Every structure is written in C-alpha cells, then in structure tokens.
Chain A
Amino acid sequence: MGAQKKSATPRVSEDPEDLARNPLQAILLADSFATTFRPITLERPKVLLPLVNIPMIDYTLAWLESAGVEEVFVFCCAHSKQVIDYLESSQWSSKPNFIVTTIESHNSISAGDALRLIYERNVIHGDFVLISGDTVSNMLLTEALQEHRERKKKDANAIMTMVVKQSKPSPITQQSRLGTDELFMAINPVTKQLLCYEDKAEYSKGFISLDKTLIADNPSIILHNDKQDCYIDICSQEVLSLFTDNFDYQHLRRHFVKGLLVDDIMGYKIFTHEIHSSYAARIDNFRSYDTISKDIIQRWTYPFVPDILSGSTAIKVERQGTYRASDVTVSRSADIGSFTFIGQGTKIGNDTKISHSVVGEGCTIGSNVTIEGCYIWNNVTIEDGCQLRHAIVCDGVIMKSGAVLQPGVILSFKVVVGQQFVVPAYSKVSLLQQPTHLDSDEELEYADNTSGTGEPGSDKLNGDITPDLSETAYELGAGGVGYIWSVFEGVQDEEWRQSVAPIPTDKLIKLMLEKDEDDEQLTQDGNVFSASGELKADSDDNGSGDDDNEDSGDDYVFFEKEVEATFLRAVNENVKVDHAVLEVNALRLSYNMASVDCAGAIFYSMMKLAVESPHNSASELHKNAADIITKWQKLLKSFLHDIDEEIEVVLKFEEMCLESAREFAALFPQILHLLYDKEILQEDAILKWADEKEGADAADKVFLKHSEKFIQWLKEAEEEDEDE
C-alpha cells in the first residue's frame, strides 16, 4: 500500500491541471457507525429515516447534485440491501451527469474501514467531498473547492478542508442546538489552518490544553468554542491513502483529524472554510433530528424543502409554515397549528390539535388527539383521545385510544400502545428486544468509540451493568406489543440532553445552580483544580478552612481516616478488642465526635477491609465481611448504645453501597441479615430505617427494595411476637 501511495502523491502534485479536469467526486457514507438512533436503526438504516417525510439521504444527494458533484459513491454497511434497493428505485439511478454508485460492505465497522475499502477499489481520482448520508446543507461548494485547490497548489500538504459554521453553544448545557457537545477549535485566523480540535473537552476540567509549539509557530491563533463542525470535508486523494497507512484510524474526527494534528512528521495540514449565510448540519442524535426538521420546515435549507424536493406529490405551503399534501382529509374542527407538515392520504379527526409536528403519509388520526412537536412517520394509526408530546413515532405504529406519550419517547416500527397506557418520558420502545451486551460486545465497543458524539456516559454500556437490569420487558398496556428498552443507570440522567424533547426547565435551573456553585467554588479558592471534590479535601489542610461548615465536614473525614487506621492496625497487630475500644474512644474525644460517628466510622472501616481483602466472587466477599463482622462485633457493639446509632450504621452501609463499595450493593440484604443475626442491629432499628426511607424518592429506595423480603420477614416476626 505504501508504494502505491507514493506513486499516487507525485502524480497529483505534479499535474494539478489534470486534477481540475476530473469530474468532482463524493463519498457518501450511508452509515453513521453509531448507535444513537437505536432502536429505530435496528430495522432501517439511518439514512433512510424520513426527515420531514423525505429520506435523509435525498437531502444529501440533492445537495451534492446541486453543488456540482458528478459522481457519488454511496458506501452502505448496515442494512445495505435496503439502501441499495431504495437508491435503485429512486430518481437518483437515472440522472444524467450525476452517477450514484453503491459500494457494499458487511464487515466495516467504522468510517476508517469504509475509506480503506474505497481506496482498495481505486475509484477516486482527485479531490472529493466526504460526507455522511445524514447531512443537510445548501452551501455552495465552488468557493470552498477553489480555496482548497489553490492551497493544494501552493502546499501539497494541505489535504483537507473542513466546513465549519458559527453556532454558539448554550452556556448552561454546554451543548449546541444540535445537541452536540461543546467543540473547541483552534484556528489560525490568517491561513484558516486548523490547529486543534477538541470535541470531548470536559467542562468539569475547566480547561483544555494546547501544545505550546502551536503558539510558538503561529503568529496569531484564535480559539473558538462557537463553531459547529458541519461534517462536510473536501479531501484530496491522500486522505484515503492515509487511512490505509494508519489502519487504526476509525473515526473521522477523533482519530483521523486529531491524528493529523498531532503528527508533525508528515506535516499534513487541515484547513477550515467557514460558511455564513448558507446552511449545513448533520443529524447525529435525536435532538439534531428535531432541530434540523424545524429548520427545514422554516425553510432555512431552501431550496431543499419538502415542497420542492418531493417532486411527484404536490405539497403546498400555507400560511404560518404549514405544509399540506394534496389529498389530506382534515376535519373542519381540527386545529392544524403553525410549522406542521401533513403528508399525503392522512386523515385527521374532529377537534384534534396538531402543532410544530410532522405527520407522514397514510396516517389515521382520531378525534380529540393532541400532537405537539412530534415526528409521526407513515401509516401510523392514532386513535381518539391520545396525547403525544415531543415524540418520534415510526411507521406502522398503532396507538390505542387514550394512550399518552410523554416527552422524548421513541416508538420504533409497528409498536402497539395499549389503551390508556402512558409511555414514560424518554423511553424507547421497539418490537425487538434490546440487544444484550454479550453477543455484540465488540461491535458496540467500536460503535461507541466511533459514534459522533456518543451518548454521554455511554462507556457504561460496556462497563458495569448488573445482568438483572439489562433485560426487562414491559407490556405496553392492554393489547400493547413491544418492549420498553431499559435505560441504564447513569445514562438515564443524561437522556434529556439528546432527546427530541426540549430540555425541561427544571433541568436548566438545576444546571444553572450547579454552574453557579462551581463558579463560586472557583472564586472562593482561586484555584481551578479544586473544582473536583477529592482534591479539595487534600488541599484544605494547608488552606486552613475558611468556612465553619466545611470545617466540621472535613473534621469528620479526618476522624474517619484515623479510625480506619486504628482499626487496620488493630486487625494487623491483633490488638485486643478492649484496647481498640479505648483507642477509638480517645479519638472520639480528641475530635469531639459523638458515638454515632464512631459507630459509622468503625463500620465503614470494617466493610472497607472486607472489600479490600482479596475475593473473587460475591459469595467470597460475603464470607469476608461475615468473618470481619464476627471477629470485631464487640468493638462495633460498644459504640451502639441506642437505636439512632444503629440506624446510622445502616445508613452508612447504604451510602457505601452507592459510592465507595458498589460490590456490596448486591449483598445488601444478606449483610443486613447478618448484622441482625449477630445482634448488632435490632429489628427496631431496621424497621425504623425502612420507615424513614419509605418517604424518600425512587432512587433512594433501591436498597430498601432489595431488602424488602427481609423487612417483611422482620415485620411478620414482630407480629408473631405480639400475638404470643
């Protein structure tokens, strides 16, 4: 491959005139190599999903055609058959001067693989446009191409031009309106060379690092966080060979762009081209699907708007941005609000309200239905009295009367929602079961690494999943068909970020408050690093705490550490229990703590020891814990004078299970039982704890649920006692 590449490079640079004569080619990746659109993409490729009733790929192809591209290679991977069939039956197969060729692959798992395969086919002969099939744009390519070619003539290393557009991320959520994370780019303002590309800049860090040679080498440099990457690249042939040379390049941005920026041996350069008045955006999550649909309806993408693109079926634009196909049956009393699309053959019943939504072809919508901000695809049946807010409803879905979709719901193909059933917010429903992670582990891992932005916290997908959580199939009410995909802990909190539903106000307020706190902390300490909690604890002992509240909190941390050290020494040196009690008591007095704190700290130390001593399975861990508890129960008991202290122990244990020692989470009820057996905890204490927790919110009650049986048993035992 290396030899081939060498022969290709001089040909291009020696004879640029020849290059200009080549027809402009484009590579269209008809697979995003990501899982953000699951469960829908399990049944249909992303590029064929309708965007305002027209498949996404049509927008991309129409733009490429208008931009003067003459030959397009469509790379299909997942569901390649569907893509090829669609393209063959569509208008694109029979256009003069616009050739669409499909390249099929079944084993490519990333954009890198795709480009390597295309390189092997040897079909690209000059500069090409690299784009994925989910991009909507109306920009003119001529200017960017011209710039690219002129740069290339001067400097053979200028191999790629990236299209960027102004887009300011929200200061609160740190994401753009397309739902992508904040992106940092360093650009030389004179040459427009891209110097740094950081898309996973963690806000929590509060800083990004720039190589100091960048500043030394460039007279001026602008760091942008208000640019959006349009994922439209104009590439020279070398790009393909670079992918072949670096077989580990998978993701276009994360590997290729960053790789080139870091690599200073080859000296390849990437430049940016900023567009101002034209439109370009890529759909890589549900939020961008929503945003871009709205942009299309509001005609920012003109001429790529439904009434012009869908040539055969007549669609009329009416006042306030309402699009209506020719044979739509709408009841006189129905209220079709602004920015709504109604597809052909759709029937809408009495008193139904629809606004800011897209309703596809052949849908039947009953009476008294409320639809707001929804994307309803083709042949959907919605019976009377349903309510839909900010949801995506795929082909063939049936919603029985009175069903409700809360914001952010995704209903995949042919799901049936039962009567009066309320689908909870942000749930994803499909006829297919959620793929378990064992069979597609590797695939998922790659997908995660290569997905455009990845779901925040998606690393958890491969990480710590307790098997009992991953497969819970729920019935969708009476007569419902489909599985509600379970959401993993941790991801759940982030679900709203990239959903179709607008960000709820309470989240915004919460984020704003958090941000304020962060800022306060920053200003208080005058030290950027202490924003993360752990460092703070350490840095405080030289900073002589400035706040009384903080002081007492830190005291407890030190106290706990001291107790732990004492306890470990006692274990290692076989100190007598009485002596250990004495030492802990001394600590208690010197730190001015109550015996409640001692009990908590000792129990914490014991459990920590149990976790840290070697074990291979949960049962071994249980045994460890049992041993330690048995051996040191006397120490613990000497600080458990009354019920409050016992409750403290349970609470402490619960806290540990949530935070420091998650391994215990599964063993919670067993250990609780053990503590009861050893008479460390009395049943009153446990019951009181259960009572207290009864009123808490769901997340807090996890352990209560786990130990429900045990508590039930305790209660029964108590009743029996009373009976006697």
Chain B
Amino acid sequence: MHPAVYKVGLQYLSGDIWGGNARCIAMFQAFKEAIKDYSTPPEKTLIRDLTARISSYVSFLIECRPLSNSMGNAIKFLKNRIAKLPLVLSESEAKATLMSDVDRFINEKIIIAEKVIVKHAVTKIRDGDVLLTYGASSVVEMILLHAHELGKQFRVVVVDSRPKLEGQLLLRRLVRKGLSCTYTHVNAVSCIMQEVTRVFLGASSVLSNGTVYSRVGTACVAMVAHAFRVPVLVCCEAYKFHERVQLDSICFNELGNPEAISKVHGREDINYLDGFVNQEKLQLLNLVYDATPSDYISMIITDYGMIPPTSVPVIVREYRREHLWS
C-alpha cells in the first residue's frame, strides 16, 4: 500500500475529507504520488500491473468509506487512460503521461467546471432574491460569493440538519464575507420557504433518469420548494453524472454511524437511547444520501450549460464518448 493512499484512506475514515470534489481531488493526488513512485516489477507490464495496483488501492479506499459515483467515474477514467497507453512508451514516459492526465482531469473536470457553473448560475441571481441552500456545497458557496462580489443584493438562507451540521461551516464563511444570512434547521424549512425566491442545491451525483443523488435532506428541501412553487436549481459538475437509474434512496446508499443520530453533541442530558442501541427490535437508520426525483428539480446547472433534468442522459452519453471511448 502506498503511504499517500493510506493517508487519504484514513482521512476519509475519520471524516477529515468530505464532499465529492474534495474526496475526488484527494484521491487523485494520492494516486499521482503512487504513480510517481511506481516502478514496474520485473517480468510484468506496466499496463496490467498498474491497473491491478490501482484496483487494490481503490478497494482499500472502499474499505475506509464507500466510493461516491463521482469517484467511480474518476477511477474509470484513470483505468481507461492506463489501458489506452501506447505500448511503445517507456516507463517514465508512461508515468509522465498518466500524471499529466490526472492533473488535466482535476483541472478541467473539477476546477474549471466549477468556474463555468458559477458563471452560469450567477445569471439566475437577481437583486432582492432570497436564496436557500441546504448543507454545504462547495460550488453553491462559490456561486453565492461570486454573486456577492458582483454586488448583487440578496439574502441567503442556510438550511442545515443534524448530525453533521455542515451548514454551519458554510454559514461562517458566508458571514465572514459579509453576506446577510439566515440559518435554520430542516425542520423549519416549510416556514422559511415562504420568503425564498430560489433554491440552490449541490449534488453528489446526477443519475440518468434525472434523479439527483445528494446529502440526505435534499429531497425534502426540494419537495417543499416545489410545493411552494420555488424554482430548484441543482449545481453539479458533469463528471458526477452517472448512467445508473435509481428510484429510491434505500436500495443504494451509504449508512452512517447510528451513534451519530442517537446522541446529541454537547447535550449530555439527552441520553434516552443510551444502552438501547443494540436492541433487536430497534434500527437506527442514518442514511448519508437521498434521491430527489426529477419532478422536483427545475434545472440542473452543469459545465455543459443549464439543462432540464430530462436531458441528463445526453450529458452522460457525451461525457462517456469523450472520456471513455476516446
């Protein structure tokens, strides 16, 4: 096991690195280190051996925390690049090519993609808007900050939920930049939705039937917004799109630590579930993601432009053609 991969795995495990883009970038940086230090063992070819190596790294990372769809896409890309390496290349040339491919992926598919999304999304923010966001999406944060820099006059409602309370981090950063914010928990979303004019959401993945797979609670926010006739805009980079079709949140999901929902941090007095956790008849369900049906989504903003959820298969197809078959 390469130490860089090991380190990233442990960081996933401890929760120090979270969020689709951050996890993906950290993984690729670790792979890059591993490729740099790689040397083909005698009697083996680089293409086969490195692919096997990467697979073993990936299975280690899965042990630490299940992969997200975006990471799956990224790994597929890397393996594809390895498989497509011309056999005439020397080892050092092959390594250099792969490393530059990895860098290009991070740069094009994540960093520039985010910038493009921001550029598209700020056109949807008008003076006097009240924007609601849920959780802490890095691209939504960039959109809000950019719109603020452009001098648009708007308010932000940050909706958050236990147990992760990621929204507080986002809130801190927004307030520090001088945005006027309201913070509330998802329980109050129907109350606050009355004054909201637009909902901006991040996504972990967009599936080919237009379902948005995102932090648990997103579906609830999107449905409430739909009921209040508030447009819901999902911001997602194209590399996170996935050809799978999913109809509910249960059949494919990640289970979080049940302890996290049975205890309240900082409130020792709420201990009603102490010693109850291992009861046979009790199941503590801490889902990490949920699926938002495409009916509740007005628009998906991606690096290819702003599209309705019904057009997702096109993006998936184009993306595959560009990166996997080329």
Contacts and interface: CB of A to CB of B under 8 A. Distances in A.
Contacts of B318: none
A360 to B, nearest CB: 25
Contacts of A338: 180
A319 B184 CA distance: 13
A320 B182 CA distance: 9
Contacts of A319: 194-195
Interface residues of B, number: 4
Interface in A330-383: 338
Interface string B165-182: 000000000000000101
Q: What interface size band does chain A fall in?
A: under 10
Interface in A269-304: none
Contacts of A320: 182, 195
Interface in A203-243: none
Nearest to B195: A319
Nearest to A321: B182
Interface string B138-181: 00000000000000000000000000000000000000000010
Interface string B187-210: 000000011000000000000000
Interface string A95-129: 00000000000000000000000000000000000
A293 B182 CA distance: 19
A280 B221 CA distance: 36
B195 to A, nearest CB: 6
A319 B195 CA distance: 8
Chain A: interface secondary structure? Answer: helix
Interface string A480-492: 0000000000000
B188 to A, nearest CB: 12
A255 B252 CA distance: 69
B165 to A, nearest CB: 16
Interface string B42-61: 00000000000000000000
Contacts of B194: 319
A338 B182 CA distance: 11
A519 B194 CA distance: 51
Nearest to A276: B266
B179 to A, nearest CB: 13
A319 B194 CA distance: 10
Contacts of B180: 338
Interface string A292-326: 00000000000000000000000000011000000
Contacts of B182: 320
A319 B155 CA distance: 13
A319 B130 CA distance: 13
A440 B182 CA distance: 50
A325 B180 CA distance: 25
A320 B180 CA distance: 11
B177 to A, nearest CB: 15
A273 B180 CA distance: 34
A300 to B, nearest CB: 14
A230 B297 CA distance: 50
B129 to A, nearest CB: 14
Contacts of B195: 319-320
B187 to A, nearest CB: 17
B238 to A, nearest CB: 37
A385 B180 CA distance: 27
A553 B180 CA distance: 50
A509 to B, nearest CB: 16
A322 to B, nearest CB: 12
A338 B155 CA distance: 11
A709 to B, nearest CB: 51
Nearest to B182: A320
A272 to B, nearest CB: 21
Nearest to A319: B195
Interface string B26-66: 00000000000000000000000000000000000000000
B273 to A, nearest CB: 23
A354 B180 CA distance: 17
Nearest to B191: A319
Interface in A398-422: none
A320 B181 CA distance: 10
B272 to A, nearest CB: 20
A328 B193 CA distance: 27
A355 to B, nearest CB: 11
A338 B157 CA distance: 14
B157 to A, nearest CB: 11
A694 to B, nearest CB: 39
A320 B157 CA distance: 11
A485 B204 CA distance: 63
B228 to A, nearest CB: 14
A370 to B, nearest CB: 16
A319 B196 CA distance: 12
A294 to B, nearest CB: 13
B77 to A, nearest CB: 46
Nearest to B192: A319
B166 to A, nearest CB: 22
A338 B181 CA distance: 12
A314 to B, nearest CB: 21
A43 B136 CA distance: 52
A338 B195 CA distance: 13
Nearest to B194: A319
A320 B128 CA distance: 14
A211 to B, nearest CB: 36
A338 B194 CA distance: 16
A276 to B, nearest CB: 9
Interface in B66-100: none
Interface in A25-78: none
A319 B182 CA distance: 11
B230 to A, nearest CB: 15
A434 to B, nearest CB: 39
A333 to B, nearest CB: 16
A353 to B, nearest CB: 13
Nearest to A277: B266
B213 to A, nearest CB: 33
Interface string A441-481: 00000000000000000000000000000000000000000
Interface of A: 319-320, 338
5 contacts: A319-B194, A319-B195, A320-B182, A320-B195, A338-B180
- In the A-B complex, list the 5 residue pairs whose CB atoms are closest, starting with the nearest: A319-B195, A320-B195, A319-B194, A338-B180, A320-B182
